[in-house]
Amino acid sequence: MTALSSIAHTKGFTIDSNATISEAMACMLSNGNGVAVLLKDKKPLGIVTESLLLAHMEALDHASKVIVLAKCPVISAHKNRPVESAFDMVVTNNIRRLILVDDKGLYFGIVLQEDLFDFLEEDVYKIDLKVADLLPPDVSVISIGEDATLHDALSVMRDKHIGSVIVVDGKEKTVGIVTEKDILSAGYRHIDMHQNIGQVMSSPVLSVSDQSPVTDVISLMRSSAIRRVVVTHRDGRMRALLTNRDIFQHIKGNVARMLEIKLRHAKEIMNLLPEAIIEIFDIPGQQVIHWMNRRAQTLFGKELVEQHPVMLMGDLSWNELYSELREKEIIQNNLVLIKGKSFEFSGTLSQNINSRYIKLIAKDVTEHEAAKQILKDEINEEIRLRRENEYLMMQQARMASMGETVGYIAHQWRQPLAQLGGILMNLESSYLFGELDKPYLEEKIQQGNAQIKYMSQTIDDFRLFFRPNQEPEAFDIADAVRQSVQIVSASLNYYHIEVKTKFKKGRFFAVGYPNEFSQAILNLINNARDALSKKTADPKTIAITIREQGDKTEILVCDNGGGINPKLLSSLFEPYVTGRRESGGTGVGLYITRLIVEQKMKGKIEASNNSDGACFRIFLPGVS
């Protein structure tokens, strides 16, 4: 483990808390990174940045105390924390530098965003990213004419919430760039802000093609000691301005790579599962088995790693399976004969920027296939009972299969990951529009931590779900519902969805499994949110009611999202039934919800359509 202290800058970034604005500017220009840390008794008291000073440039009194402007919160970490932890802190807090302290809270040093590029490059950036992959389709370049003044450039930066502006001539050709550092330097030297920008602009401006690899751009920025480059089309026309912050922020979108960093123990968990799991890289023109868990190696042989899947199942079976994967991106229970045994293969094909990978779960059903034929012969006259028994067998087989649990966990994590992304986007938008304050930041941090805690708890909850000796307990239904609403509050706010509740804490109780019941309610809220997210007109509401119905407690979760396809109502709670296949629905959420409510809570769940949406009713036994 590499500690943050090993990559920290320990000199050149601090000033006394009583320092003047002029002294702060000198420190920032000296270290070249546009930041100064204010210390009092060797403890970090505040932080001053270029953008902060530029916001008050015209009214700056260079002799006044800088502490009055140091309103940016100090984000700090212990010097011995691992470097990997800095990534989360930088992205989550939308900052470019991290203050390090020792055991006593005394200042130790500072880690810059640029320092993390070197450390994270091997794990994060050695992928096939191109500059074009980082640019939104509607991005544009903010520019000013070469006859503009320093004041004009400063005004544009403030209005657009940007750290630099491109300078163009009369033919819209790039001739230079003005940055926050340039304006700060001019202010420090008392240059008249109505002077022409030619006094401070940098020229020429380095440019890269939108087809350039991101790794090349990072190298160029480091070697040239710059933070931004102009991106051009193939014909040379200017397309965008790319900053190192844009590159760093993109890491949060590379979910697969970040899961690899954050969840390295996942393969250890899969090695404990009773099902065979196989990962395949789908390289253009060929496929290669990349990894097999212990069960797969025992069944098929570990020598298959780095071999083509044809070596596992033969040309015909692999071509049929691969063709269906390419068409549907998911397969379920495909029967394949391998060395005289029958295996059911289920799996998915996923896309990651410019590459693809396949994950397969193989289940040995040799005995099951033989027993199924005998069963058909024996109970041919009792077709209804045969179907019920076969359905029960399928449920029991699925519940016994821990390999299927991996799919369930992935389903449960999909929404929290999206909600974390929404929280990060909200923070970024608030920062860009100058609306980011400490209460709002703390609120979003709490919401993000709740999502992460829920994702971690999900693994334990699903493991405990299959233990028959798990003990039920009495719990407040209202608390469980509120917990579910809180977890998805960021996502609901993003889609302007209002949750209306009609119940009281401490009035309705149930005996069962509160964490699993919260997951069941969360699944219903997620389904309602997905339906409402497609609705263009307000209001968008989810109404949750808890009330007495005789000797039972009734929980209603209703929305005004248009309702459920009537063709799906009769089979809605069966596995892999979904009306959202095109948007990534797997059809396991409501299946799990029914298992929790009916098998674990001894209750009943029903679905219906009301006048303007869907309504789910849960009935739980009352507590005497």
Give the model's pLDDT for residue 90: 75
Measured CA to CA in angstroms, residue 297 lies from 105, 163, 300, 546 at distances of: 50, 54, 5, 51
The C-alpha atoms of residue 238 and residue 140 are separated, in whole angstroms, by: 9
pLDDT at 258: 47
What is the structure's pLDDT at 465?
A: 41
> Is 80 exceeded by the pLDDT of residue 486?
no
pLDDT at 169: 86
Phi/psi for 360 (5° steps) reads -120, 145
The pLDDT of residue 413 is: 75
**pLDDT classification of 37: cutoffs 50, 70, 90:** very high
Q: What is the Cα–Cα distance from 85 to 96, expressed in whole angstroms?
A: 14
Question: 555, 491, 483: which is closest to 519 by C-alpha?
Answer: 483
Under 8 Å between Cβ of 180 and 201: no
Confidence (pLDDT) at 354: 46
**199-208 in b/e burial notation, b at 16+ Cβ within 10 A?**
ebbeeebebb
Q: What pLDDT is stored for residue 259 in this prediction?
A: 42
Residue 454 token pair: 């829920």
Q: What pLDDT score does 490 carry?
A: 65
pLDDT digits 0-9 by tens, 328-349: 889 998 989 988 888 999 999 8
Q: Rounded distance, CA 202 to CA 181, Å?
A: 11
CB 560 within 8 A of CB 612: yes
Whether the predicted pLDDT of 495 surpasses 60: yes
With a pLDDT cut of 90, the percent of the chain lying above it is 17
> Tokens representing 345?
């293969």
In contact, 109 and 9? CB cutoff 8 Å: yes
Judged against a pLDDT cut of 50, whether residue 574 lies above it is answered with: yes
pLDDT band at 44 (very low <50, low <70, confident <90, very high): very high
Q: What is the DSSP letter of 460?
A: H
pLDDT digits (tens, 9 = 90+) for 59-94: 788 888 988 888 667 888 888 877 766 766 776 677
Q: What pLDDT, on a 0 to 100 scale, did the predictor assign at position 302?
A: 87
**Token duo for residue 536:** 């263009």
Average pLDDT over residues 531-559: 91
pLDDT tens sequence across 413-437: 777 888 888 888 888 888 888 888 8
More confident residue, 269 or 8: 8
Q: Look over the chain and give the mean of its residue pLDDT values, rounded to a whole number.
A: 80
| Beta strands at 76-78 and 43-49: parallel, antiparallel or unpaired | unpaired
Mean pLDDT within 512-524:
85
What is the pLDDT, as a whole number, of residue 608?
A: 92
* Mean pLDDT in residue range 574-602: 70
Contacts of 361 (CB under 8 A, 6+ apart): 275, 276, 277, 345, 346, 347, 403, 404, 406, 407
Cα→Cα distances 397→300, 341, 389, 532, Å: 22, 18, 12, 35
Question: What's the whole-number mean pLDDT along residues 10-37?
Answer: 90
Question: Taking a C-beta distance cutoff of 8 angstroms, is the pair 576, 332 a contact?
Answer: yes
Instruction: Assess contact for 470 and 510: CB atoms under 8 A.
Output: no
Place 106 in a pLDDT band, splitting at 50, 70 and 90: very high
Domains of the chain: 4-112 (3.10.580.10), 131-248 (3.10.580.10), 257-402 (3.30.450.20), 405-621 (3.30.565.10)
